[in-house]
Amino acid sequence: MPSNTVRIGAYTRTDSEVRETSVATDLGKSEALVPRNRLGLWADCTIAKGLLRDLGFAVGVTCNSAVYGDSANLYKGDSATLWDAALHYNLARWRFQLNASNLFDKRCISAVQSPAWAFYGNPRVVTASATCKF
């Protein structure tokens, strides 16, 4: 990767456990909606010289393990790997940016609370922005 590339990475492992509750059957279970493992990687490169100077692009990936959707740990959603991307251009005090999250529009069930109640993860979302520094 070129020297003007910013790289970011993070990993979290969470061993959540219900230790106090008014529902005795939930004791010792995993917390609902908390993934055990989460990994995120991101790289952003801005061209420093030439005709495309100040044009940049980025790509990132987030991996989440499956989560329980209920406190009794009866129902589990899907694990998911989602990709994001960005394209940006700096012009004097301005920055123009186009972002896409869930780039490949992966459909996944992020949480399940019962056989009849599930939550889908977000679909692909594309946003554009213009920012001015004062």
Domain ranges of the chain: 5-65+78-105+124-132
**pLDDT of residue 1 exceeding 80:** no
Sequence-separated (6 or more) residues with CB below 8 Å from residue 28: 17, 18
Instruction: Provide the pLDDT for residue 98.
Output: 98
Alpha carbon distance 33, 36 (integer Å) = 10
Chain segment 69-96, per-residue pLDDT in tens: 888 899 988 899 999 999 999 999 999 9
Average pLDDT over residues 107-126: 87
SS3 27: coil
